[in-house]
Chains A and B, each alone.
Chain A
Amino acid sequence: MAGGVVEKPAGYGAPGAVPNYLNHVAGIKSWLITLDHKRIGIMYLAAVTFALLLGGFFVLLLRTELLQSGGVLFKNNEYYNKFFTLHGAVMVFMFIIPGIPASLGNFILPMQLGAKDLALPRLNLMSLYLYWIGAVMFVLVLVFGGLDTGWTLYPPYSLDRDTSIPLLLALSAVFILGFSSILTGLNFIVTMHRLRPVGMTMYDMPLFLWALYATALIQVLATPVIGLTLGLSAVEHIGHIGIFLPQYGGDPVLYQHFFWFYSHPAVYIMILPAMGVQSELIATFSRKHVFGYKAIAWSSIAIAAIGFVVWGHHMFVAGQSPTAGIIFSFITFFVAIPSAIKVFNWVATLYKGSIELKTPMLYGLAFMYLFGVGGLTGLFLAAIGNNVHLHDTYFVIAHFHMVMVGSTLNAFFGGVHYWWPKITGRMYNEKLAVIACILVFIGFNLAFMPQFVAGTRGMPRRYANYVDEFTIFHQLSTIGAYILGAGVLLQVVYFIASLKNGKKAPKNPWGAATLEWQADSPPDFHNFTKPPIVMAAYDFENWEYDPNTGGYELRKEVVEAGHSLATVHN
């Protein structure tokens, strides 16, 4: 994997600047046709951030509407329905599913393997273009009048309607975004199998990669099902073929089976990469070899596998048979085992570690608490009797936001802070970052804790109105949403500012031991100017602090020996 230093093309970059992947060629075209996983990762990062802000804007509208019973914003409840549909769809399909794997994964995965690129770079670019096409179509849904079906698009309500264009646009958008996701996953699996450097076994890979591997398996095996389901839905809507619509002889419950056969595993597409980021953060900032490496690695695979056999717990009150419901309820409890294995191992990693409370670590700690709450309330909902009571209430909303937003969004923020110096070569303002982190944490808890209570008292989801006794919960929740929004905006501000004024980032500001930190910040076009010294993921003893650069450098002995000094491996 040796890569020579790229000759700097004349006229590019500041005079005397070290050539890197950002300045070695310039111009919009060089970005649009690039096969470089780093640039593609950055474009993904920009796109998913845009989706996050868009979906976040929608939800702020919704929360504002709910400040008072009777509404304060929309003239018509139809707008409420359209905005919660778009909030869900944009967040799920455009932000949270591609979020971590396509942006951070794309950038970091080949570097953690010491490779130059993903195994199939053209496919990677194609997946980005598919994502853009899908995203544009979603925006067009809004232009053509919006959609009020909920992101789940359940028939008969969704398919039996007169206005076709927004529906068909949304169906095709999700279909295309799905293929973008499949191609990313496929590429990741091939890369991890074929481009590991000599001397790195599967068990030497960072846990982030194990998580991405498990995610990729789900992406490849589950996503095609939703593709076809939405294809059939489109055909049903146009041709009334009688597969899903009951008035033509179809079975709407069948749609829900198909939909959740994908969408439940998709929940693990959302959370697994977050757990991967979490493993990196906890290990690095505890400066300690991660506890229970193999347990964490295989629990990712176990979660992916169990994820395929529990989809029916979304359908307890949908007309599914009670027998199937009981079986699904029983199997659902098993998800808790690998999830708990992870949490216990992270906690054990913290034990006696020398913990450094940098911003990424703060997000990591918040993750553990929020995932704990989200995961444990999941157990309440897995019990079928309890579920019938809580089904479609704010309790469910709070539960899955705790996992999807509390955990995944937190890990996404943590990951972006963690890898920002590597990606951009600049440090962000640590003080502002801590403030933003605290805002996000407070805002988030304030937004969703009251919803648990409101849910157990019977506040149903997706309603534009409520009885007066729920007012206090909704108002607290709305204030929380505003605080969360402020925290996110603050992040955007200091990240953009860091590009201009940020301190130059050292090679390895955190003392992390995975291979990407041996590259320059920002990396060379070929990632590594000289082949990285291959070592297991958490051999922190190979690095020492260098006060001159403000970062960590490989110990001289390691460089001379050309291999890790660690005696204990994973």
Chain B
Amino acid sequence: MHFDTLHNQFQSGKLGMWLFLGQEVLFFAALFTAYSVYRGNHTDMFHYGQYFLDWRMGGANTIVLLFSSMTAAWSVRCAQLEQRKGLLITIAITWACAATFMIIKYFEYSHKIHIGAIWGEHFHIHSFDELPLPLQEKLSHIPVPEGKTQIEAVNDYLGKGGLGLGTFFAVYFCMTGLHGIHVLVGMGLYIWLFVRAWRGRYNRKYYSSVDNIALYWHIVDLIWIFLFPLLYLIG
């Protein structure tokens, strides 16, 4: 222990955490740039890509994350007030919300992989009927060259050499995937925190981990606040 006061130790940990969060912002910066570059130069790619994303799923996930952010902030309050039971409950709820987020994410991913709406050269829609309904309507009129099936024509139109939706899905999967990894890390941290809280390790003068992990969790939420409209809403 080389700090003169607990307060100084607390503030040091917190400053370190904030620097780490600043680092996180720039960690995502390259992906936000990739998004802007492809969206800025290929508006159509994003316009069509949007049809594959369900804003209801994304919206539900947004609410889930916001709620977990509230409980995370609440857990800090509980630690400060030495409410052990409240601390355990808020941590558990935060964890459960994170798990719910990942489950919803799982359904979204598996659906896209199932219909073939995935990244780069692997983008290949298997069947016309599996496309989202509004997109079926929109694509029903594209001309089918002789000797090709309708789905082949659709893939030519959307995929490589056409709109290049493969890149859209690369951006989508990379951004949400990296965010998802952060959610998983957060879940791990909250399990660790739960165990420590269970053992009664925290009190009003010593709760740095609760505070810092909550900060981390908020930045995960904050990044999703931007990902949601950028990917799901604006076409």
Q: Which residues does A use to contact B, with CB under 8 Å?
A: 1, 115-117, 119-120, 123, 182, 185-187, 189-190, 193-195, 220-225, 227-229, 231-232, 235-236, 239-243, 248-251, 254, 257-258, 261
Contact = CB atoms under 8 A, between A and B. Distances in A.
B8 A194 contact: yes
Q: Across chains A and B, which 4 residue pairs bring their CB atoms closest together, nearest first? A: A242-B120, A241-B170, A224-B27, A241-B120
A529 B63 CA distance: 56
Chain B contact residues: helix, strand, loop or mixed? helix
B166 A249 contact: yes
B22 A241 contact: no
Given A241-B119, A248-B121, 7 more contacts: A123-B16, A182-B23, A186-B20, A224-B29, A228-B30, A243-B167, A250-B170
6 contacts: A187-B16, A190-B16, A228-B30, A236-B120, A239-B120, A249-B166
B192 interface: no
B5 to A, nearest CB: 10
B111 interface: no
A239 B122 contact: yes
A78 B2 CA distance: 53
Interface stretch (B31-39, B51-59, B219-227): B31-39
A249 B22 CA distance: 31
A222 B22 CA distance: 10
A194 B37 contact: no
B164 interface: yes
Given A249-B120, A254-B34, A190 B22 contact: no
Contacts of A220: 19, 22-23
Most chain-B Cβ atoms within 10 A of its Cβ — which of A228, A241, A258?
A241
Chain A contact residues: helix, strand, loop or mixed? helix
A298 B4 CA distance: 29
Question: B interface, how many residues as a size bin?
Answer: 35 or more
Contacts of A123: 16
A249 B167 contact: yes
A223 B23 CA distance: 8
Contact of B167 (A1, A239, A250, A258): A250
A251 B16 CA distance: 36
Nearest to A527: B2
Contact of B170 (A116, A227, A231, A242): A242
Contacts of A235: 174
A228 B29 CA distance: 9
B11 A194 contact: yes
Interface string B107-118: 000000000000
B24 interface: yes
A248 B33 contact: no
A222 B26 CA distance: 7
Given A182-B23, A242-B119, A249 B160 contact: yes
B27 A227 contact: yes
B122 A115 contact: no
Given A115-B2, A229-B30, A242 B166 contact: yes
A254 B42 CA distance: 15
B9 to A, nearest CB: 8
B15 A117 contact: no
B174 to A, nearest CB: 7
Nearest to B4: A1
A115 to B, nearest CB: 7
